[in-house]
A = this chain, B = another copy of it.
Amino acid sequence: MKKQKVSSAVIRRLPRYYRHLNDLYQAGVERISSNALGSSLGLTASQIRQDLSCFGEFGQQGYGYNVGTLRDEVADILGMNRGHSAVILGVGNLGRALMENFHFERSGVALAAAFDVAPQVVGRQVSGVPVYHVDQLEEYLGRQPASIGVLTVPGRAAAGIAKRLVGAGVKGIWNFTNIELSLEEPGVVVEDVHFADSLLALSYMISEAP
């Protein structure tokens, strides 16, 4: 096991490993080789072994990997057992879509609360999660710290809310706004979900196709 900085290419592949291993596990598959795993993910066996070797030795010569064990190891590496919790900022369509349709707990994250300003949602529950007024953000996080802030507010509010989240101690921001956040706080991570960038990449690809 090498203890080096893990490249972002590896990090982006880990969730796919997890997802696929979980599917295999649900399907009752017990063992798998790097070769088989690679071909169903479109990767080489070498790459998978190389990736996993960043974190430990999970296989066995002549046998391969135990699906359940490897899945659990990858889950652990991804931080799924660290008890991360999240609050969501903005209960518009997108925030609501995430609350109602996205299963945070399947990623090991507990969605604890939501915040908005609209009187018609503040004080209510959405998918069992209470919605508070955004004025109560700091007070709430003081009592109930959260590691992740999910940012689904309108773009104009993004920078201000992001700053407040960081001030209140979140460790990561899952940013769904089209704003490029620049946080001064070191150690706080931003994960962007830029819909427009994704659509433009698709637009490029279909425009190039022969």
Contacts from A to B (Cβ < 8 Å): 6, 11-12, 14-16, 18-19, 77-80, 82, 84, 92-94, 96-98, 100-102, 104, 106-109, 147-148, 171-172, 174, 178, 180, 187, 189, 191, 193-210
Residue among A12, A180, A193, A205 facing the most chain B CB atoms (10 A cut-off): A205
Main secondary structure of the interface of A (DSSP, over half): helix
Instruction: Give the CA-CA distance A198 to B78 in the complex, in Å.
Output: 11
Chain copies in complex: 2
**Contacting pair B84 A93 (CB below 8 A):** no
Instruction: Give the CA-CA distance A109 to B174 in the complex, in Å.
Output: 26
**Contacting pair B197 A195 (CB below 8 A):** no
Closest to A199 in B: B107
**Contacting pair B107 A204 (CB below 8 A):** no
Contact partners of A209 in chain B: CB under 8 A: 171, 187, 189
Distance in Å: Cβ of A101 to nearest Cβ of chain B:
6
Shortest Cβ-Cβ A-B pairs, 7 listed: A79-B207, A93-B97, A15-B197, A191-B202, A15-B200, A171-B206, A94-B97
